[in-house]
A and B are shown apart, each in its own frame.
Chain A
Amino acid sequence: MIYLDNSATTQPDPEVLASFEQVAREFFANPSSIHQFGGKAEQLLHAARKQVADSLKVEPAEIVFTSGGTEGNNMAIKGIALEHQDRGRHIITSEVEHPAVYEACQSLEKLGFNITYLPVDENGTVSAANVKRAIRPDTILITLMHVNNEIGSVMPIREVGNIAKQHPKLFFHVDDVQGLGKMPLTLKNSGIDLCTYSGHKIHGMKGTGILYVDKRTRLFPLMHGGEQERALRSGTENLAGAVAMAKALRLIKQKETDQAKRLQGMQDYLRSELAKLPGVEINSPADAAPHIINFSVPGVKPEVIIHMLGEKEIFISTKSACSSKQKDESKVLAACGFESSRSTSGLRVSLSYENTQAELETFIQALSEAIQQFKEVMR
């Protein structure tokens, strides 16, 4: 099998799985229980939180363990909106956000919030100047993704962070689900108040994630109850999940340091080979994140390519898995200004550090054959 759909999800690392299994089996006590067994579980939770905080260079009290990217994004956006609505009801986001952000914002419109959806340029990037212009006296939140999940475009988070710093009354949330482990992002002193991460995109487990919440930031919780996670997310802690998340994060950070060049090299290879294939148009900008490359084969139905490759056990995707069930056109590609023949035929290859050059060579060969075959059949 050649798995090239790593932005949808990744294969769990065996070490992460082993930790998850062992913790679930041996440390099943409730960390809130007073007895020594509960104490042990609590210590382990602290250790996991400390390790996560160290690797993100923030404080343990700023780490909230969540069930993943969707929860983190909802918790941040709705949490800020509900807590600070007396101060203002305006939120700034972009047209190319993941549905967990986009739909969360739309849901708030029903409650009377005002959302500005910023456009992107042909590279799929929001301009910091546009963000600055969109800020109003009643703006309480800017929420942007770091790396776009469909085409890998990288948003100017640092610049927007600096802008946010000059408006101390508004909060800045970053959806870094796709950037984690691939594109380093500094949290401390960056102007970022909240940042969402997911475990299963970095070879962790489904149902695990992290929301970074700057310690001065107050949120209205989505879950009320036993006041776990600084009362921001009640519910008995998923200790095995938290440990697995911490381990996955440690491993991916190591790879990010050691193997960045190799990953970039694989993407460069794909880009140059795809450019050689007749009828293929590359949608990802030249400075995209190193693990995503999106391309279109106008006139060729993307599902057919997916299935032809699938028969050879090569797995890539059309647009992001989360929006694949909607109508044919990619909202992101359309927002970039591509005409419909291109925005309805997008394909995405997303890499992980586990992929090899040999796999990519096989894939390019198979893709080229598939396109050829399609054209012959349809002629």
Chain B
Amino acid sequence: MEFDHLLIRYGEMALKGKNRKKFIIQLQENIQQKLKGRFPEAKVTRTQGRMFVLLNGHDPEPIIETCKNVFGIQSLSLAVKVENEVEAIKDAALYALQNGENVRTFKVSVKRIAKDFPVRSQEMNQVLGGHLLSNTESYTVDVHRPDLEINVEIRLEATYITSTVIPGLGGLPVGTSGKSLLLLSGGIDSPVAGYLAMKRGVQLEAVHFHSPPFTSERAKQKVLDLAQQLTAYGRSIKVHIVPFTKLQQEIFREMPDSYAMTIMRRIMLRVSEQICRDKSILSMTTGENLGQVASQTMESMNTINEVTNYPIIRPLVTMDKQEIIEISEQIGIYETSILPYEDCCTIFVPKSPKTRPRRDKVNAFEAKKDFSELIAEAVEGTETVKMTDEQKAASAFDELL
């Protein structure tokens, strides 16, 4: 006997009324997508109210690790499927107990959904508990705080015996909440913002402003790497790389130094909105965080946000830096995030940026110079790179390695 199933529980999704079916199908697709390449035999199936991964001979450990990164899963458990038959259920429960790690106390919980099963739940609890105790040593029953709860679900088609509950990420399946364009700078904040948006079911594309030779290939590669790392939690991510050198130089030459940063941000939003329009994306996501730096004061947000009426999702807006770093570490992108490459915001730094810019002033400055042609040119020159979760396509180094 062995654990041949992985039971997937989806929590919040069960509440979503009419959308429910859509959400579940999306979750199933997302899991399938993640498992497809590496675990060709694994199958994802649904029965009423339950989703299972059939392991079909694959080692459960890496599949669990993969599923733990899929949004929409509340928790997972390894399961054994047996016939609706008392002896078979007994054996499976014993197997589940003996395969628990660091278990001294246990509890059995039977749910009898198939009402034609001859033994009632309460009675079955006792039958199984007795079987486990008489066939093992050193385990005791603890109904209040067991180390391991063995769940037995007697369903119409079969009985599933599950052991340890492994928490998932929760959230909603990526793809159920539409698309958003993530402004990805290469710092710590923006990838975390992207991750949190994905957690709410958002599918991401990303935009990055690249200013060669002021910013290097390495800085660009870092952004692509970050996007690639984010795909572990969702689907492939298209990264739109906007050539920003000309615009940036123009801004810093033509506009007053103290307002250059504000105007640069406004122009980034204008470019991003144009990309949204072109790609039918309905919102933008940023790593902005209230009060963290000069450009993220209330006044600054008010002034910058003026240029677009697209919704801007700011998942980090109220977080402390430490909270952001913790998430970044948890999701495995911190190491890449802190690589010390210059980005578009670190090269052109005004000596004394306005921390409280005003809409009337900024509009007066911008009235003196029309950036729309340069913006169109930047959008036109945008290069799109698709990052996927699959093992990187053949790189130039493959032969060497």
Query: Which residues of A line the B interface, CB within 8 A?
Result: 19, 22-23, 34, 36, 39, 42-44, 47-48, 51, 59-61, 243, 246-247, 250
Contact = CB atoms under 8 A, between A and B. Distances in A.
A19 B395 CA distance: 15
Given A42-B218, A43-B221, A48 B335 contact: no
Contacts of B397: 43-44, 47-48
A245 B395 CA distance: 18
Nearest to B329: A215
Contacts, number: 33
Interface string B37-74: 00000000000000000000000000000000000000
Given A19-B401, A247-B400, A47 B216 contact: no
Interface in B381-401: 395, 397, 399-401
B401 A247 contact: yes
B335 A61 contact: yes
B332 interface: yes
Contacts of B395: 47
B401 A59 contact: no
Given A43-B397, A250-B401, 4 more contacts: A43-B221, A51-B401, A60-B335, A247-B400
Contact of B400 (A36, A39, A60, A243): A243
A378 to B, nearest CB: 54
Q: Which of B216, B221, B400 has the most CB of A within 10 A?
A: B400
A19 to B, nearest CB: 5
Interface of B: 216-218, 221, 332, 335, 395, 397, 399-401
Interface of B is mostly: loop
Contacts of B401: 19, 47-48, 51, 243, 246-247, 250
A214 to B, nearest CB: 14
19 contacts: A19-B399, A19-B400, A19-B401, A22-B400, A23-B400, A39-B216, A39-B218, A39-B221, A42-B218, A44-B397, A44-B400, A47-B395, A47-B397, A47-B401, A48-B397, A51-B401, A59-B335, A247-B400, A247-B401
Contacts of A22: 400
A59 B332 contact: yes
A36 B217 contact: yes
Contacts of B399: 19
Contacts of B335: 59-61
B377 to A, nearest CB: 25
Nearest to B334: A61
Contacts of A59: 332, 335
Closest A-B pairs by Cβ, 5 of them: A47-B397, A61-B335, A19-B400, A39-B218, A246-B401
Nearest to A22: B400
A39 B217 contact: yes
Nearest to B397: A47
Contacts of A39: 216-218, 221
B158 to A, nearest CB: 31
A178 to B, nearest CB: 24
A22 B217 CA distance: 24
Nearest to A165: B102
A300 B91 CA distance: 57
A22 B397 CA distance: 11
A51 B392 CA distance: 11
Q: Which of B218, B332, B401 has the most CB of A within 10 A?
A: B401
A134 B390 CA distance: 46
Contacts of B217: 36, 39
B224 to A, nearest CB: 11
